[in-house]
Amino acid sequence: MEDLGLWVIPLAILGGAIRVSTPFLFVSLGEVLTERSGRINLGLEGTLVFGAMSAYAIAYLTGSPWLGVLAAAAGGALFGLVHGLICSLPRVNDIAVGIAMMILGMGLAFYFGKPYVQPVAPDLPSISFGWWSDIPQVKAALRVNVLFLIGAVLAFAMWWMFRATKVGLIIRVVGDSTDAARAMGLQPALIRTSATAAGGAFAGVGGAYLSLFYPGSWNEGISSGQGLMAVALVIFARWNPIACFGAALLFGGAGALGPTLQSVGVSEGYYLFFAAPYVLTLGVLIVTSSPTRAMTGAPGELSITK
Amino acid sequence: MTDQTASNPLATPSPNGFLGTLARRSEAVILPLSALLVGFAAFSIFLSLQGKSPTEFFSLTYRAGFGTAFSWQNTLSRTAPLLFAALCVALPARLGLVVIGGEGAIVLGGVAAGAMGVIFTNSSGLIAVPMMVASAIIFGALWIGSVGALRHYRGVNETIASLLMAYIAIALMNHLVEGPLRDPASLNKPSTAPLAENLRVGDIPGWEVHWGLAFGMLSCVLAWVLIDKTTWGFAARIVGGNMRAAQVQGLPVGRLIVGFTALGGALAGLAGFFEVTAVHGAANASLATGYGYTGILIAFLARHNPLAIIPLAILLAGFEASSGLIQRRMDLPDATTLVLQGFVFISILMSDTLYGRFKIFAPERWRST
Interchain proximity B167–A97, CB inside 8 Å: no
Among A38-42, A98-102, A254-258, B34-38, the least confident range: A254-258
Average pLDDT over chain A reads 89
With respect to residue A276, please indicate whether it lies within any of the assigned structural domains: yes
The whole-number pLDDT of residue B3 equals 46
Residue A305 lies in a domain: no
How far are the Cα atoms of B5, B223, B238, B261, B300 from residue B235, in angstroms, in the given order? Answer: 34, 14, 5, 15, 21
Tell whether the torsion through CA atoms of A12, A15, A17 and A22 is positive or negative. negative
CATH number, domain at A178?
A: 1.10.3470
Residue A226 falls inside a structural domain: yes
Enumerate the residues of chain A whose CB falls inside 8 A of the CB of residue B342.
Answer: 100-101, 103-105, 107-108
B175 with A289: Cβ contact below 8 A: no
pLDDT in tens, A132-143: 877 777 777 788
Within a domain: residue A95? Answer: yes
Site from B167, B172, B253, B294 to mutate, A interface, most A CB atoms within 10 angstroms = B167
Does A298 fall in a domain? no
Q: For every one of its 369 residues, what pLDDT tens digit does chain B have, with 9 covering 90 and above?
A: 444 444 454 455 667 788 888 888 888 889 999 999 999 999 999 999 999 999 999 999 999 999 999 999 999 999 999 999 999 999 999 999 999 999 999 999 999 999 999 999 888 888 999 999 999 999 999 999 999 999 999 989 999 999 999 999 999 999 999 888 888 888 888 899 999 888 898 888 888 899 999 999 999 999 999 999 999 999 999 999 888 889 888 899 999 999 999 999 999 999 999 999 999 999 999 999 889 999 999 999 999 999 999 999 999 999 999 999 999 999 999 899 999 999 999 999 999 999 888 888 888 777 755
Q: Per the domain annotation, does A297 fall within a domain?
A: no
Interface check for B180 against chain A (CB to CB < 8 A): the answer is no
Partner residues linked to A144 by β-bridges: A127
User: What is the predicted pLDDT for the residue at A1?
Assistant: 42
Domain range enclosing A126: 5-288
Residues of B in Cβ contact (< 8 Å) with A110: 333-335, 338
The domain limits of chain B are 79-307
Q: What is the pLDDT of residues B300-344, one digit of tens each?
A: 999 999 999 999 999 999 999 999 999 999 999 989 999 999 999
Contact between B164 and A229 using a beta-carbon 8 Å cutoff: yes
C-alpha pair distances (Å), A209 with each of A40, A103, A125, B363: 23, 21, 11, 56
ipTM above 0.85, yes or no: yes
> Which uninterrupted H or E stretch holds B308?
helix B306-330
- Chains A–B, number of C-beta pairs less than 8 Å apart: 140
Q: Do A108 and B342 touch (CB under 8 A)?
A: yes
Which of A226, A168, A274, A305 is closest to A28 using CA atoms? A226
DSSP 3-state assignment of B142?
A: helix
Residues of chain A with Cβ-Cβ distance to B98 below 8 Å are 93, 95-96, 99
> Between chains, do A285 and B339 touch, taking CB under 8 Å as contact?
no
Q: Is the pLDDT of residue A286 over 80?
A: yes
User: CB distance A104–B346 less than 8 Å?
Assistant: yes
Looking at beta carbons, which residues of chain A come within 8 Å of B171? 271-272, 274-275, 278
Helix boundaries (H) for chain A: 8-36, 44-62, 65-88, 94-113, 136-141, 146-164, 166-176, 178-183, 188-212, 226-236, 241-263, 270-274, 276-288
Residues of B in contact with A93 (CB under 8 A): 98, 349, 352
Our CA-based measurement puts residue B288 at a distance from the nearest CA of chain A, in whole angstroms, of: 13
Tally of domains in chain A: 1
Task: Say yes or no to pLDDT of A260 above 50.
Answer: yes
Would the pLDDT of A259 be above 80? no
pTM of the shown model? 0.92
Residue-level pLDDT at B9: 47
Between chains, do B150 and A281 touch, taking CB under 8 Å as contact? no
Please tell me the predicted confidence (pLDDT) of residue A305.
59
* Residue A94: DSSP 8-state: H
Query: Are B150 and A286 inside 8 Å of each other by CB?
Result: yes
